[in-house]
Amino acid sequence: MLISKYFPSLTIRQSEAEALLRLAEPIKDSLFPIVRIQAWPHPKKGEGGPIVRSTDHIEAAYGSRPVGIDLAQPLPPSDKIYKTQDRADWAALGRSEVSALHNPVNGYQAWCSFIASDERRIPVVQWTDDAAILRSQVQQLASLNRGLIFRFRRSQGWNLTQAAGLTNFFLGQTHILMIYDFEQIGNRDDLTSIGIATQSAILSSNMQISGGSRTHVFIASSFPSEFTSIGEEYACLAIRERQLYEMLKTSPPLVTSGIDLNYGDHAAIFASERLPAFRGVPRVDYPTPGEWIYHRRREGFQDAARRVRADAKWDDGNLCWGAQRIREAANGHMKGLGAPGKWTTIRMNIHMHVQAQFGNASLSTDEPWVD
């Protein structure tokens, strides 16, 4: 039975891996990440192929703890011009390895074997429209006795069509992690309206699976993809996924159905298959339990960090790695802090640190549930 307080959804890239690595060990103990495997983009002699490099980074960041393992979509062939033939070959190998794991032959046998090869891997079932292949995959993964993860994604119609292939397929006492992933929440979306639609999808998803003991998790992201239109130099943004979570957690139909929702999110990343843009004016983000603040300064990251440090929202009791990096930058110690990617890592580290401590705690919201 999972006792985690917080369920961040990650795709293993350099920023996510380091943000997870830099969390304190007790914080890591209180979260359960669900990571999407993809090909690691940077080759290193003697360190294995693109998929092995990716899993090695998970192990280095999270240790021997069990971790949810999902699979990123395969990338199409690229017309990118690589500096060397070795890098071009590496990229092609990565696409090939990911595509191989997506092969549905024999009930996704390649995926099932990949999961079976490491006992720490808790599998996310890969959806398919072929009911026989889906059932074969689920049976193979369930036989590992590690539990199963079903991820229902809003952009895929909550996968209700595919899940219908499991009708009358009884999972006995297998522990099931049911993830309801709304993905991206727009800054103008009406939370009550999308909450009602999401509530209906959760109830339908839950009914599609037979048997099993269950942990239910709602996941979404409202982190924006651009900032110029929000605030040229400063903004304070509500973490809308937490607001929506709190509305859903107390919704009478879910409570009546015995669905006790846990909290997860996309770890302060725009929820999409692509990397979020971080170009232009230097920006330093500071996550709090219910808000993100940011300061953008043309003068550079040091000036932005100084303004974050002086902001009324700053918590001087937060001593996590990311907060310490902001303190260092504000004091003029900028070694290793001049690249935008490092500030993505810092934001994610602070966000996961804060959310892991709050877990399922209720934060105030100005948008009441209306059903």
Q: Is residue 26 part of a domain?
A: yes
120 belongs to a structural domain: yes
Buried/exposed 143-156: b ≥16 CB within 10 Å, e otherwise: ebebbbbbbbbbee
Residue 219 is part of which domain span?
A: 7-226+237-273
What is the predicted pLDDT for the residue at 78? Answer: 74
Give per-10-residue mean pLDDT for the chain (371 aa): 80 93 96 95 84 95 96 82 85 93 97 97 98 97 97 97 94 95 93 96 94 95 86 92 96 96 95 60 95 94 97 96 97 93 96 90 50 38
pLDDT tens for each residue of 313-338: 999 999 999 999 999 999 999 999 99
CA angle, residues 358, 359, 364, in degrees to nearest 5: 60
What CATH number does residue 74 fall under?
3.20.20
Sheet strands (E) in the chain: 7-11, 34-37, 67-71, 121-123, 148-153, 175-184, 213-221, 234-238, 261-265, 283-287, 291-296
Q: How many domains does the chain have?
A: 1
- The predicted structure's pLDDT at residue 2: 56
**Is 307 a member of any domain?**
no
Q: What is the DSSP letter of 124?
A: B
Query: Six-digit token pair at 199?
Result: 């509530």
Neighbours of 250 (CB within 10 A): 13
The residues, any chain, with a CB within 8 Å of residue 265's CB and separated by 6 or more, are 8, 9, 219, 220, 221, 239, 241, 242, 355
| 183 part of a folded domain | yes
Distance of CA 300 to the CA centre of its chain: 29
Is 35 contained in some domain?
yes
The model's pTM is 0.93
Tokens, residue 324: 């310490």
Q: Collect all residues with Cβ–Cβ distance below 8 Å to 134 and sequence separation of at least 6.
A: 107, 125, 127, 128, 162, 165, 166
